[in-house]
Amino acid sequence: MPFARSVLVPLAAILLLGPTPVLAEDGPVCAPVTKLPLERYLRQLSLDLLGRPPTVEEYAAVRTKGEVSVEDVRSMMNSEEFYTRMRGYHRALLWSNINGSVNNNTNSRLYGKGDATEALSMRGNSSVSLRGANGIGCDSYIPQDSCATAPRQDPHAEPTTTKACYDARGVPLPVSWDYDTTSYYQCSRLDLVPNADPTKEPVPDPAINSCEAATKKAKDPLNPKYMYFCDMRRVGTALVPHLCKPHPDKTSTSALTVEATDSSGKVVSFKHANPSDTTTLTQLDRCTLTMNPRNGVEGTYVPQRGCFQREGYVTRPAPFWNLGGPEVRICAIEAQERSVNPWTLESCTTARFNGDRSCGCGEKMRRCEDSATATTAAVTHSSRVSAINTEPELIADAVLRNDEPYFNILTTRRSFVNGPLSELYRDPQQGVGVFSLSSPAPAESMPMLPFADANTWREYVRGPQHSGVLTTPAWLYRFPTQRARVNHFYSAFLCKAFVPSNNRPPAAEDACNRDNNLATRCACKDCHATIEPTGAHWGRFAERAALYLEPSRFPRFDPKCYDCALAGNTSCGGECSQYVMQAYDEEGARSLGTLTSFLYRNAAEEQNIEGGPQLLVQRLLQGGDLERCAVRRIWEEFLGRPMSSQEQALYLERFSADFAADNHRLKGLIERLMLSDAYRRID
């Protein structure tokens, strides 16, 4: 009884007195925080900051000190392992991968070994207009410059007059031909004779090494009337006679059964027996070295139907991707260095070069790229893409290494180039037809590095229009439209998403549904009222490209584009692709000839266009959303999960305020997180 009284009396006194002032001020009481054991804490830090477990020596050093100090955390954050770890973080944050964003149709890719048996040549779709079919190179055995005196491939069918190697203005002409067995002809070997063993296949007879010899075979000789359709085709490195006739199993050629002959009785063409108005193929003529002009325009050439018409090779210094290497054999068409067609004056410095017989790859083959071989990868395109992917990581890495305000990654003009990027930026002919981009700085201020030097990166300063990672080719190509750029910016740096509202849209017949301005169209404006004005900050950067629309070259209004639009000429010679050329409403009609970026814009949005992404970041830095999102991103990165609502209440504003007060140092933010109870406790 005395014991009970001794306990109950103090309890009653406490109840009568009420809660103590300390408890009243503390609010809700959290469960006690259990700290990680020292070794586990070090292991967790090392894995998160360095990407590896601690070494034996690091464990021993911490045990000796009895703690992991702030100096230990800072030491980790000054190591190369940490910077590598954070480059991976920013790579994931920025989605820096344009492998699937750049369409390389390989039309300017050079195939072949460049040796005595396989000259370098464009064999993609380009070879259709150059030589007659996809996948066809030149004649690697006949030098173009001495084609008139070199041994002829088909002397029985070529004219006896001196062969012309070039036209009057230096454009390479065909030096040999073959019949097209892919689409039109069936060719059978004429050098085969019965095997001594009748149970085995026929064997080649080395004596039958010409079409004339094939006419003298003891069995199944070549009928002399088909001499023009006897084709000396290469089998390995040897020339072997073949008889080529329209393919009997193809619908388009099986009907070509009428043989037209010349005065000597030799067949010169195969014709359709009963052509109709819808017959697409009525005649196939014998192959020759003559090419007809395209649409009658002198200086343009069309390969003969059913024929591969090949030019010869020339020898040139090694291409830009292998400077200092041995000389290579390259097809005479590709070896040219013209800037315009010498006959028509059409440009050779645009994507059309690879289909124009007079253009070529340019000096050091700079308009073309290499291809993969059995032992090497296609380094040209892959090196450019890899360098573009890496550039944003290096911008972020420099900000982190220099302990600069973190959001410099969104505003700095500093960037880096290696060999492939230096050449791509300084030489507008490199990557033509594949990349559509503008040099970030004048060529003379760009570091000069050879293409092969892909592992050396040099710092430089971009032009005033640039803004951190937000104007790199990696960002602009990876997010090809203004809306995509806004969407990822909001996701990565503001931790916000555009989600349609639950508001029911008006009936389909409501005029609001036909508003072409998405910022005001019902059911769209909930998101686009923010997306469109924000997207205007990228208005001076072309969509689906990394091209800066320089005001002096791309004025807000172009009278020529306006005149073309009124005349219905929407292409306008390819000069007005960035301008409004068709009107779909009254606003569009008023905007003809205007840069598309200015369509449906008010005065404030036009300021956004001229201010660029830098202006966007400067405005957002006034509101705190960038800081809060950075805290949430770093929290999720190092704790492996998003902030809970309770954690947001406890830490978000405090960490954000500290981050801002510390001049937005990312290392400082990471340090606070690493040393906080939130990181050290065991849940």
Name the packing angle between helices 625-639 and 603-620 (round to 10°): 50
Ramachandran angles phi, psi of 138, nearest 5°: -90, -175
Ramachandran angles phi, psi of 619, nearest 5°: -70, -45
**Residues of the chain above pLDDT 90, percent:** 84
pLDDT tens by residue, 577-606: 999 999 999 999 999 999 999 999 999 999
Helices within 499-602 (DSSP H only): 525-535, 559-566, 586-590
pLDDT, position 631 = 98
Distance CA 335, CA 114 (A): 12
**Residues of the chain above pLDDT 70, percent:** 94
Nearest to 72 by CA among 58, 56, 84: 58
- 48 pLDDT more than 80: yes
CA dihedral 375, 377, 380, 384 (to 10 degrees): -150
pLDDT, position 554 = 97
Q: What is the DSSP letter of 407?
A: G
**SS3 of the chain: helix, strand, coil, percent, to 5:** 40, 15, 50
Average pLDDT (296-307) is 94
- The identity of residue 397, as a single letter, is D
pLDDT, position 373 = 65
- Say which residues have a Cβ less than 8 Å from residue 159's Cβ, sequence separation at least 6: 289
Q: What is the full DSSP assignment across 141-200?
A: TSBGGGTTTSPPS-TTTS-SSPPPSB-TTS-B---EEEE-TTTTEEEEESSEE--SSTTS
624 φ/ψ sector (left φ>0, alpha ψ -120 to 50, else beta): left
pLDDT, position 372 = 74
SS3 337: coil
Reading the block at residue 169, the tokens are: 């203005």
- Say which residues have a Cβ less than 8 Å from residue 22's Cβ, sequence separation at least 6: none
- Say which residues have a Cβ less than 8 Å from residue 357's Cβ, sequence separation at least 6: 129, 130, 171, 172, 300, 301, 333
Mean pLDDT score across all residues of the chain: 92
pLDDT, position 379 = 84
pLDDT, position 22 = 39
Length, in residues, of the chain: 683
- 9 pLDDT more than 60: no
CA dihedral 451, 455, 460, 462 (to 10 degrees): 70
Average pLDDT (206-226) is 95
Distance CA 244, CA 268 (A): 12
- To which residue do tokens 């040549």 refer? 121
Measured CA to CA in angstroms, residue 559 lies from 500, 540, 551, 552 at distances of: 39, 19, 14, 14
Q: Quickly state the pLDDT bin for 679 (edges 50, 70, 90).
A: very high
| CB 642 within 8 Å of CB 632 | yes
pLDDT tens by residue, 533-553: 999 999 999 999 999 999 999
Distance CA 149, CA 653 (A): 85
Distance CA 425, CA 438 (A): 7
- 388 pLDDT more than 70: yes
Reading the block at residue 439, the tokens are: 């040099």
Q: Quickly state the pLDDT bin for 7 (edges 50, 70, 90).
A: very low
- The identity of residue 506, as a single letter, is P
Distance CA 258, CA 132 (A): 24
Average pLDDT (77-83) is 98
Average pLDDT (196-224) is 93
620-606-98 Cα angle (round to 5) = 65
Q: What is the DSSP letter of 302?
A: B
SS3 539: coil
- Say which residues have a Cβ less than 8 Å from residue 65's Cβ, sequence separation at least 6: none
